[in-house]
Structure 1
């Protein structure tokens, strides 16, 4: 990159579910990048994808992938990120990690541009990270309420879509739904759905139980004391982004037969008294939030109504009957777009500006306050 050029960007994982949405956003939003390289696994090499109206050939991830690359976005399996992000950093590439590889590590700021944009300058390890899709579904609604009334306790139940497992999750849900759609009495007998799926489809599935005609009270991997990794991520990441390390958080993560769009039922308790009308007014005026809340006319957000949208949608707002400082509400967001690709694109815009300022010697002093 020279003084007159824009930074070169590599998108690692360009052929994934989030990668596809990211390429759309890079084409739709302000153009802050020079060359954009598309990188994926060997099986995807040679594919031609469109970005910014141009055909770009996908390259195989390899030793020379980051030569001349100023910034890289990684949205790949965690083990791939752990292997290749350090290699990219060693080549002088600034990395945006959209995986879970470095989100919780010291020296790697966790960034939501609407909340802590200055942290993009604070990258002593050469890496900044983006939260997971469920955290991003929640955070736009939590931040304005926390700013005004100080969140002290958060209890959530998530309803996570099949696309949280990428293309393979969506494909499996479609296949299960197709296998069950012409089965008389499906779901009316013990074990009937599981038997039908087992006999009609390959055993390999990203879900631990059939998802079609069902809900699965599990997402992630098993951690201590019966918690799942997805549940603990929400706790850790909400604390980091809000800057409240002792925030009380409990989450139960459930996978549901929805293609795209995560939903979250929220019980939020605040230090200062907060009425539902105050909360609604704060959210109506918050950036990136749309309030749909008129139960008398069946108006509340659902995943199929908000898919493809940038904002977070909030509804079912009500004062807790037995908890005077608590508000109940329901949050829905497109987990591929708002819950991942959009946040990454926004971080990228901040990073591009910082890289160009540093190149021309005009960068502000590096921040030292990490989260």
Structure 2
């Protein structure tokens, strides 16, 4: 028994990572179908030691597909997500389009797998990459001591903005060394050897939409009573998001208790030695499934306060891995069953 799984956006960063993870985790699939836009039709993508031929999305028939993993942007999800769902596929969408839809569960399996019991449209939303890794770390702490307030600053890699953004970081870095002119194209300012406190569009209150997403998604998935403020920053790193998180709790919790809870929490890996190099950086998290937590320490400026440093591969836990973990959770909870 197995499932027919379609990956929409199979030529992009996240789509390729989905194929890698499906293979690595030995997802029970009888067929994997790689789908992209018509301009990519006929191209080959890797799936383990096999090559899959790209099929065109605009003519693809989702009938008989059990799971459709969408990694192709909001416009594609808006147009083709309902078509796949109506054809009987369970759609797991990585774009932002369905995240705030009250009839669509927004899920991180380590945080709120029970929300999968509320599926109404055959569509499940994957959260923003920065929210996903943050909530993996916050969930066990919230369960133990109830989070009152969070202040988070993100250090987000350029891969979160796509292939062209990664190319821009590479070309600008090279240009600096050979003294070529630099012209920002995918970013508002030079990204090489710089940081940019601006991700997504600005809103009327001065926050960016990326910062708003972290608030809204935390409220939807974890607890609407948590007060959260975010500053999201793009940094000259190819892959891997980092976050500095300051947490204020309603109940007493010590750093020792927090460390013990996080060591046992699903999806978390604590690397926290108070010595040179005793912490994780984005470069070290690439290709890993874990959400790494370092620099756990008490905030002595508030009652019941902690600081933590959280790092994860944004193409994995922030996107592709989380989507496939959602599919695995559907199987584990008996929500989705393979045909005999």
**When the two structures are superposed, what TM-score results if normalisation uses the length of structure 1?**
0.87
Question: Which residue in the other structure is 1:53 paired with?
Answer: 49
Residue equivalent to 2:305: 326
Specify the alignment match of 2:214 in structure 1.
234
Q: CA deviation at 1:127?
A: 0.6
**Correspondence for 2:198:** 218
**Pairing partner for 1:196 from 156, 159, 181:** 181
- In the alignment, structure 1 residue 314 sits paired with structure 2 residue 314: no
Counterpart of 2:143 in structure 1 is 147
Q: C-alpha displacement at 1:52, in angstroms?
A: 4.3
| C-alpha contact 1:276 1:327 (8 A) present in aligned 2 | yes
Alignment of 1:272 with 2:251, yes or no, is: yes
The reply on whether 1:298 has 2:246 as its aligned counterpart is no
Deviation for aligned residue 1:289:
1.3
* Aligned position for 2:230: 251
TM-score when normalising by structure 2: 0.95
Counterpart CA distance in 1 for 2:245 and 2:217 is 16
Query: More deviation in 151-160 or 291-300?
Result: 291-300
Structure 1 counterpart SS, 2:311:
strand
CA contact (8 A) 1:7 1:355 kept: no
Residues 230-267 of structure 1 show CA distances to partners (whole Å, capped at 9, x for unaligned) of 0011001112221x112101000000000100000101
Q: Corresponding residue for 2:316? A: 337
> Structure 1 regions of 5+ residues with no counterpart?
184-194, 361-371
Find the structure with the greater CA-based Rg. 1
The equivalent position to 2:188 in structure 1, one of 198, 205, 208, is 208
| Secondary structure of 1:251's aligned partner | strand
What SS class does the counterpart of residue 24 from structure 1 fall into? Answer: helix
The answer to whether 1:78 aligns with 2:63 is no
Deviations 1:313-348 (Å, cap 9, x if unpaired)? 111111112112110111111100121111111111
RMSD over aligned Cα, in angstroms? 1.7
Per-residue CA deviation, residues 125-173 of structure 1 (Å, 9 max, x unaligned), is: 1111111110112111111101100111111000000100121111110
Secondary structure of the structure 1 residue equivalent to 2:3: coil
What is the Cα deviation at residue 13 of structure 1?
0.6
> In 2 relative to 1, CA 91–63 (structure 1 residues): closer, same or farther, beyond 3 Å?
farther
In the alignment, which residue of structure 2 is the partner of 1:262? Answer: 241
The corresponding residue for 1:24 is: 20
Residue 131 of structure 1 aligns with which residue? Answer: 127
CA distance in 1, matches of 2:193, 2:114: 45
Give the distance between the partners of 1:53 and 1:167, measured in 2 at CA: 24
CA distance in 2, matches of 1:354, 1:33: 16
Report if aligned partners of 1:267, 1:327 keep a CA contact under 8 Å in 2: yes
Number of positions where the alignment pairs a residue of Structure 1 with one of Structure 2? 338
Aligned-partner Cα distance in 1 for 2:295–2:109: 27
Matches within 5 A, 1:110-125: 110-125=106-121
Q: Please name the residue that 1:187 is paired with.
A: none
1:166-207 CA-partner distances (Å, limit 9, x unpaired) = 211111100110111234xxxxxxxxxxx9313xxxx5x221
1:354 aligns with 2:339: no
Aligned equivalents of 1:77 and 1:124: distance in 2?
A: 22
Instruction: Identify the residue that residue 367 of structure 1 maps to in structure 2.
Output: none
| 2:77–2:95 Cα contact (<8 Å) kept | yes
1:310, 1:355 → 2: CA distance? 23
> Which of the residues 164, 174, 178 maps onto 2:174?
178
Secondary structure of residue in 1 paired with 2:337 = helix
- Secondary structure of 1:355's match? coil
The equivalent residue for 1:68 is 64
